[in-house]
Chains A and B, each alone.
Chain A
């Protein structure tokens, strides 16, 4: 048994006890001894304190470490790095951005293959430091080199082989990844209009905005306008199909429909042909501009200006100029669509999908959860049945999320969705409309997954409403429903919101079930757009959590996608954090309103 007041007073902790001793009143040894004894006694007397405190420190430390790592890597992902040019001992020239540095001990068999001089250098380095530094260089120029990255060990570098050429230019392209090279000529309509690094750079900075604008226009024509024509054609075809299904293929209605359809098709065709012509025009204008560039190892190639997203010369930029590029890249990341198999560009569709799905899920889960909890707490007579339901609800929270995914696929997509398709979208069959994964089914699946969270939180909130309030309401002659609606629910609202926050945090971060019910790695269209009926709950969507998984583990070029993985993870954490913060803010306001500030 612990001995209480006196010891607690003296041995409340190592800091406390050493503080109380006047400085210099003990010789050092005695003081040390006393301190150790006090510390041990404190640890002995309060094992709970040390155990719990220690556990907390470990947990917090791990969380901070994780978040800090994600934040650091995620924020560093967009920084334009300098481009290094390295000449190796065998004459190879490696040029690109250093993305990672590490130390390693090379295999002896590798060293054997090296020329004597280099091997001696390697062994010397190994002798001095015990390991050798190597750097991962993003070399780009994939169409020429066939690889994106290359490791360079220190001993491979020829003497004085490392430099940072000022005029090297980095191109971010729409395809083939980055390009590192030197500017040679600027070509407009097959005519060289500028030569030499400086002049070409000037011309490039002048023309590039025009090229970007044209590209945007081209994309709009190809995607939106062409898409609209296709959409109308599809709609007309579906109408015809419906008529055929309703009246039979041989009926006069169907024949009339077919005639109409042919007329419309002809009209749309000519419209499309016109549009194609326009597109061709714009494309020709865009492709007139080209750059002749040479790589560090002397190979020459031509880049179309229309393919270039951004060009900069990092080695001559000051940090504030780099900051401008950084800002532009972050903005692109947040607002643009992905390109290059998601490893470049933005994640806007994924942000949109995540937020929309989380909101839909909340709309789905909160009313259901609250009503269920109201029944359990306010209406049901307590007994074994209610206890059984409660246990079942709690167990639901422990079911692996993938099981919910399977259920969602089987129930929502294949049963409910297929029925909806049979009833309302029969013309489009066998292509599914609601019969396959979509944002609605994904939201409902997650709503089911987070239902226990909301029910449990609401039940707790309802249980915390003092009975005296209910009695006060009944005494005024209120019915049960009036009491619940006017007194109990408002008072329980902050607790309900807590449940919603927990559900949202859980739902926004969930990936596994979504993979079955509607998340895709690249969705061509957002679930909300300018085409009637504007909200398309049947469409599949992109999601940040799945994006992380896809980039990090499914990508062809995992190393290039690495920065995006961190940036996306950081963004997901921030979004969940913001959603939570918003809900916490609302809850705090409600609390002030409903629970009162003083007594």
Chain B
């Protein structure tokens, strides 16, 4: 065990086959060691104005605590990637930001999340208003059983907007932003369920931005897509940054390094390291981070 710790940071190796200790155990030990320092927040973040602040945030599903003491500030107008092994709580975290977890039974919070400095859990805060300010895209495309047009203008419809021209403009703008306009402009009034999977996902992105939110929350938006569609959507994120604040959950290290400005690593419900993507990928401060981003585990 100690021998592993004595290695320099760039030399985390596979254990010898005859080692009695399992690789998982080593990971856990490594993590425990790192946890004493966590969360490591890179200084590069300090000068960014934050739009969402998590403050010692914790989350329970029933008796099970899945997020522990998470404090991070998500910079405005930037793309923040959240990475971490499966089951570490990425979805739970991103769903907490627009309070989608409220829909589940037995969910409890501790700590606080603030948007523009205002707590989203305060009694005066309107959940519906909060969700309207945050577009969300899910892992699997979930278009509604209606036409392409109605899908895109759904957020406007529920606001009670009936004016045809406003709806049409919003629809075209959102579809163009989602790089889908050219493909569907002739079939706006056919069922959205007849689109391909990749088109459906871009449609969901168009829907998320049609209501003109400030923040886009994307939970593994490309996991069901092929490389071409993924590339299209990644380009899309680039063009959306600046106008919107993007929070992207991803399993794909390359994707995180390609598209995001900042990256946060979550591990077993805890924030380990959070910093500018370039720094985090080239000079990680924790060995767990280093092991994770080089694909040694996760």
Stretch of A440-448, A469-477, A542-550 lying at the B interface? A469-477
Quick one: CB contact mask for B130-162 with A, threshold 8 Å, 1 for yes? 011011101010111110000000110110000
- Which residues of B in the span 74-117 have a Cβ within 8 Å of any Cβ on A? 98, 100, 103, 105
Nearest Cβ distance between residue B95 and chain A, in whole angstroms? 9
Quick one: CB contact mask for A431-475 with B, threshold 8 Å, 1 for yes? 000000000000000000000000000000000001011111111
Nearest Cβ distance between residue B279 and chain A, in whole angstroms? 32
- Which residues of A in the span 582-599 have a Cβ within 8 Å of any Cβ on B? 592-599
Question: A592 CA to B194 CA in the complex, in Å?
Answer: 10
Question: A479 CA to B155 CA in the complex, in Å?
Answer: 11
Residues of A within 8 A of B129 (CB): 477
Residues of A within 8 A of B136 (CB): 472, 475
Residues of A within 8 A of B132 (CB): 476-477
Q: Is B197 part of the binding interface, using a Cβ–Cβ cutoff of 8 Å?
A: yes
Residues of A within 8 A of B140 (CB): 468
Q: Is B255 part of the binding interface, using a Cβ–Cβ cutoff of 8 Å?
A: no
Residues of A within 8 A of B146 (CB): 486, 490
Interface size class of A (residues with CB under 8 A): 20 to 34
Q: Is A334 part of the binding interface, using a Cβ–Cβ cutoff of 8 Å?
A: no
Residues of A within 8 A of B50 (CB): none
CB pair A474 B131 closer than 8 Å: yes
For the residues of B in contact with A, the DSSP-based class is helix
Nearest Cβ distance between residue B239 and chain A, in whole angstroms? 22
Contact among B128, B134, B142, B197 with A472 in the assembled complex (CB-CB below 8 Å): B142
Question: A380 CA to B124 CA in the complex, in Å?
Answer: 26
CB pair A598 B138 closer than 8 Å: no
CB pair B158 A593 closer than 8 Å: no
Nearest Cβ distance between residue B188 and chain A, in whole angstroms? 15
Question: A473 CA to B142 CA in the complex, in Å?
Answer: 9
Q: Is B191 part of the binding interface, using a Cβ–Cβ cutoff of 8 Å?
A: yes
Question: A491 CA to B158 CA in the complex, in Å?
Answer: 17
Nearest Cβ distance between residue A14 and chain B, in whole angstroms? 44
Residues of A within 8 A of B192 (CB): 596
Question: A482 CA to B160 CA in the complex, in Å?
Answer: 11
Nearest Cβ distance between residue B209 and chain A, in whole angstroms? 11
With A482-B158, A597-B194 in contact, do A475 and B100 touch (Cβ < 8 Å)? Answer: yes
Question: A599 CA to B140 CA in the complex, in Å?
Answer: 12
Contact among A381, A466, A477 with B142 in the assembled complex (CB-CB below 8 Å): A466
Q: Is A371 part of the binding interface, using a Cβ–Cβ cutoff of 8 Å?
A: no
Residues of A within 8 A of B145 (CB): 469, 487, 490-491, 593-596
Nearest Cβ distance between residue A595 and chain B, in whole angstroms? 7
Nearest Cβ distance between residue A340 and chain B, in whole angstroms? 55
Question: A482 CA to B192 CA in the complex, in Å?
Answer: 19
Q: Is B207 part of the binding interface, using a Cβ–Cβ cutoff of 8 Å?
A: yes
Q: Is B204 part of the binding interface, using a Cβ–Cβ cutoff of 8 Å?
A: yes
Nearest Cβ distance between residue A557 and chain B, in whole angstroms? 57
- Which residues of A in the span 392-434 have a Cβ within 8 Å of any Cβ on B? none
Q: Is B193 part of the binding interface, using a Cβ–Cβ cutoff of 8 Å?
A: yes
- Which residues of B in the span 181-235 have a Cβ within 8 Å of any Cβ on A? 191-194, 197, 204, 207-208, 211
Contact among B193, B197, B211 with A476 in the assembled complex (CB-CB below 8 Å): B211
Chain B residue at smallest Cβ distance from A594: B145
- Which residues of A in the span 473-497 have a Cβ within 8 Å of any Cβ on B? 473-479, 482, 486-487, 490-491
Hey, which bits of chain A sit against chain B, CB under 8 A?
A: 381, 466, 468-479, 482, 486-487, 490-491, 592-599
**18 A-B contacts, Cβ less than 8 Å apart?**
A469-B145, A471-B142, A472-B138, A473-B144, A475-B98, A475-B131, A475-B208, A476-B131, A477-B132, A477-B155, A479-B158, A482-B158, A486-B146, A490-B146, A491-B144, A596-B194, A597-B194, A598-B194
For the complex of A and B, the 9 pairs showing the least CB-CB separation, nearest first, are A596-B193, A477-B132, A475-B136, A594-B145, A468-B142, A477-B131, A472-B142, A491-B145, A476-B155
